[in-house]
Amino acid sequence: MDVLPLVVTVDLIIGKRIGQHYILINQIGAGAFGAIFSVKYECDNVRKILAVKFEEEIGQFTFLHNEIVVLKSQAVYATFGPFFDVC
């Protein structure tokens, strides 16, 4: 049986562009299933600072897939941040 690490480490370079619209600012957290980074989102005239989660892919579906389902289902509650994008 594989044991997951207590904290995932993600080897990303601050300032690196992820996809077309995201630029890594800094790591703001990490846990057993992924690492959270603040990113600058830029698309046309829209500019936002967002939190993005990165994780290792384990099997066909990732833990992140389940989190997206939960976030979308909880979007009506003010205590949950809105789901923005997948890239």
- Residues tagged in the binding site annotation for ATP: 53
Say if CB 40 and CB 52 are below 8 A apart. Answer: no
Can you say which residues are annotated as belonging to the binding site?
53
Which residues make beta-bridge pairs with 26?
38
The burial of 66, by beta-carbon neighbours within 10 Å (0-12 exposed, 13-18 middle, 19 or more buried), is given as: exposed
